[in-house]
């Protein structure tokens, strides 16, 4: 009966605490009003007690019920129907520039750097339902894996397909990766344009200098978050390809040009992060997710349906029944 009902003036329910007092007062008055006649013997009288004398207490019950429903009405029961309308006021266009050089197969992150990145980036993409996202791959050169799109299924499928291959020239062309990402965003009409640039090495390839690419990002109002991926010290990394086509691994020194990545982030208004394990990489993407929020306007409409009238009608019904019974059937007892 009260599912989904709220009471605006619930403090009126305290009035129910007076019911025991009213019952006690009724019993007291009833005993006081009873007339006693003392006789020496009742043998000459035929004792027949009418059932109406018992049912007359219903009048008090009806009065209590009427009072109870009036209290509920005073508590102002109502149901609330809430409808929400959401309006996206400004979306964010994001390009993720991912290093796919052979060093991304290092096993200091599990199962390796590239797969760890793909897992975390996948969760990040799923948490950005209102934004457009694109993917850029780079090693010794760079290319667009997926242009910016709002179709998350395409982005997630493309991200899953990213892997190390020998088609792309070897090396790490940070400037080329950044420039390609800028090229994907420069014509965007979005109010906020962001690049997430990830690498695990130093710039040693490509014909575009990273600082030049940074200046292009500034010119087009593109913020860049840079991530250096790799543990501190030594990491189990691929150093050669065996005759069977598999990599030979050895422990090598991790080299990340942190000064360059910090400079890119600073110049473009972004931040630099260092991910040394799976957990820290996940935390970095969570932080970027918090820093770059899409502006959303939410409108809520409340429709209130007042229910107190029903309880007042029921209370009135009990009072009418009491009055009719009191004026007719129980008239001789009152």
Domains of the chain: 5-82+305-333 (no CATH), 92-293 (3.40.50.410)
| Cα separation values, 269 from 179, 217, 264, Å | 16, 10, 9
pLDDT, averaged in runs of 10, over the chain (334 residues)? 78 89 83 62 56 71 89 87 62 93 93 95 92 94 93 94 80 95 92 94 93 96 96 89 87 93 96 95 93 67 82 88 80 56
Instruction: State the pTM of this model.
Output: 0.63
**Displacement of CA 183 from its chain's centroid (Å):** 34
Burial class (CB in 10 A: 0-12, 13-18, 19+), 236: middle
Find out whether 37 and 271 touch, Cβ atoms under 8 Å: no
Helix (H) or strand (E) holding 27: helix 19-33
Which residues partner with 196 through β-bridges?
Answer: 96, 225
Q: What are phi and psi of 82, to 5 degrees?
A: -105, 120
Helix (H) or strand (E) holding 13: none
Instruction: List alpha helices for 127-255, DSSP H.
Output: 152-161, 174-185, 210-219
């Amino acid at each position: 009966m009260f599912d989904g009902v709220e009471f605006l003036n619930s403090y009126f329910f305290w009035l129910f605490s007076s019911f025991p007092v009213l019952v006690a007062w009724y019993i007291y008055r009833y005993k006081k009003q009873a007339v006693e006649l003392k006789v020496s013997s009742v043998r000459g009288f035929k004792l027949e007690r009418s059932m109406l004398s018992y049912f007359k207490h219903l009048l008090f019950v009806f009065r209590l019920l009427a009072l109870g429903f009036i209290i509920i009405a005073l508590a102002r029961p109502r149901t609330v129907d809430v409808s929400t309308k959401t309006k996206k006021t400004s979306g964010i266009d994001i390009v993720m520039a991912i290093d796919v050089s052979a060093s991304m197969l290092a096993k200091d992150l599990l199962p390796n750097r590239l797969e760890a990145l793909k897992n975390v980036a996948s969760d990040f993409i799923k948490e950005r339902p209102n934004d457009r996202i694109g993917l850029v791959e780079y090693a010794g050169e760079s290319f667009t894996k997926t242009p910016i799109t709002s179709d998350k299924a395409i982005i997630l499928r493309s991200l899953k397909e990213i892997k190390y291959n020998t088609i792309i020239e070897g090396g790490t062309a940070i400037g080329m990766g950044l420039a390609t990402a800028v090229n994907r965003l420069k014509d965007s009409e979005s109010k906020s344009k962001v690049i997430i640039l990830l690498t695990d090495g130093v710039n040693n390839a490509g014909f575009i200098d990273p600082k030049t690419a940074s200046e292009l990002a500034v010119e087009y109002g593109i913020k860049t978050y840079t991530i250096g991926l790799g543990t501190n010290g030594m990491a189990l990394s691929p150093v050669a390809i065996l005759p069977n086509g598999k990599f030979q691994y050895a422990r090598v020194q991790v080299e990340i040009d942190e000064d360059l990545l910090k400079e890119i982030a600073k110049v473009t208004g972004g931040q630099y992060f260092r991910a040394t394990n799976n957990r820290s990489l996940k935390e970095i993407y969570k932080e970027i997710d918090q820093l770059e929020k899409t502006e959303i306007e939410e409108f809520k409409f409340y429709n209130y349906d007042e229910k107190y009238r029903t309880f007042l009608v029921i209370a009135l019904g009990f009072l009418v029944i009491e009055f009719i019974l009191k004026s007719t059937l129980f008239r001789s007892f009152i």
